[in-house]
Amino acid sequence: MNRFAIKAGLGACVLGASVLIPAQVSAEPAATATGTELSGMTVFLDPGHQGSSEGHDLAQQVNDGRGNTKDCQTSGMTSLGGVPEHTINWNVTQLVKSSLESLGAKVVLSRQDDTGWGGCIDERARAASESNADLAVSIHADSTAQGEDASKHGFHMIIPSLPIPDEKADAAQSGGGLEASKMMRDAYKSDGFVPANYAGVNDGLQTRADVAGPALTQVPLVFVEMGNGSNKEDSAQLESSDGQLKHAITITTGIVTYLLTGSEAAPAQELAAAPDATTAPNASEDSASSTTTTTPKATTPKAAPKSTAPDSAQLSELMEMLAPLLEVQGLDGLQDLVNDKNLGLVSDLASTLLAVITGAGGGN
């Protein structure tokens, strides 16, 4: 499988341009999308938290999947720029949803809007299980302080401590869930995101026994913490349209990589002990800053092939070709993303599209 073609094609899909799909064999060029590449597959997307908890008790105790109980929900963090986590999660989820549907996947959401109640954590896990999804992805952003925390930054995937008491949940998370989480971690690293440097995170993975969602979900689950909203740089990216787009492209890449290349994974290898972590002021079900006990052994991600950024004349040709396809979710268009500061975000997409324009096909 050509991961370069996957990333480039998904960048186009997230932007509303279904012009490329992943190549099925590394030697093949990227092909024109038909919209059926993920036909028959279901993805459950959970944009963490909810727009309003009015009329609901966030402290209501629900099953935590390990014989105990915990709070029904948390309100979620607020970024340094004042954007609530539920809105960040919702925006990214909508971009991922659009991309997956453009490739023929059925997408089921845990909540239907960003204004009302989104359900307790056990209800979301049950909905994911009942969807019989090929993969569930819970999308979140973390925080480590009420105000700014300059020292802690980065993304991570939350891995449930194994074994899980429920046999179906244990099979799902020790197999496909762990495999998909590592693929998502690799997608984040390949796209230039830096793994979190706090709370016992080891190479982008953090193992926890206090997060109920994975322990209750009977389909493979990836629990993404996109970044630390208490960190100035992470927060700025989480708040901005182009930052949310970059996260969406990466998350979609991780999902499709698993759906098209993943296999039934063997049970998780023995987990290594991780250093103790200090619980942050707002540690919760949806904040990975709680104390961790174990961390999976790190795996070395496959290196993504290098690409060459286009020159100005080629870029103009690319922009002209994409002109009718630039309006997605209120974004002004791809032109706003292609500048000196963030050309790297779309360089793989641009290079592959330019190869199509010149008849060279996709690169390996």
Instruction: Give the pLDDT band of residue 15 (cuts 50, 70, 90).
Output: very low
Q: Which residue has the higher pLDDT, 31 or 298?
A: 31
**Average of pLDDT values for 6-18?**
47
Cα-based angle 107, 174, 178 (whole degrees, multiple of 5): 60
C-alpha 128, offset from chain centre: 16
pLDDT at 265 over 60: no
**Average of pLDDT values for 80-105?**
95
Angle between helices 343-357 and 3-14 (to 10 degrees): 100
- 225 assigned to active site: yes
Determine the straight-line distance between the first and last CA of the chain, rounded to whole angstroms: 9
Which range has the worst mean pLDDT, 25-34, 171-180, 329-338? 329-338
Q: Which of 168, 258, 158, 176 shows the shortest CA–CA distance to 212? A: 158
CA–CA separation, 252 and 175 (whole Å): 20
Tokens of 10: 């998904």
**Average of pLDDT values for 257-266?**
73
Instruction: Give the pLDDT band of residue 281 (cuts 50, 70, 90).
Output: very low
- What is the predicted pLDDT for the residue at 8? 47
Candidate list 37, 85, 225, 285, residue with the active-site label: 225
DSSP SS3 for 168: helix
Query: What are the E-state strand segments in the chain?
Result: 42-47, 61-63, 69-71, 106-109, 135-142, 156-160, 205-208, 221-228, 272-273, 294-295
pLDDT at 171 over 90: yes
Instruction: Name every residue whose Cβ is closer than 8 Å to that of residue 199 and which is 6 or more positions away in sequence.
Output: 144, 156, 206, 277, 278, 280, 288, 289, 290, 291, 292
Place of tokens 């020159």: 311
- What is the predicted pLDDT for the residue at 201? 98
Q: What is the pTM of this model?
A: 0.73
- Average pLDDT of the residues of the chain: 75
Instruction: Give the pLDDT band of residue 36 (cuts 50, 70, 90).
Output: confident
**Average of pLDDT values for 68-84?**
96
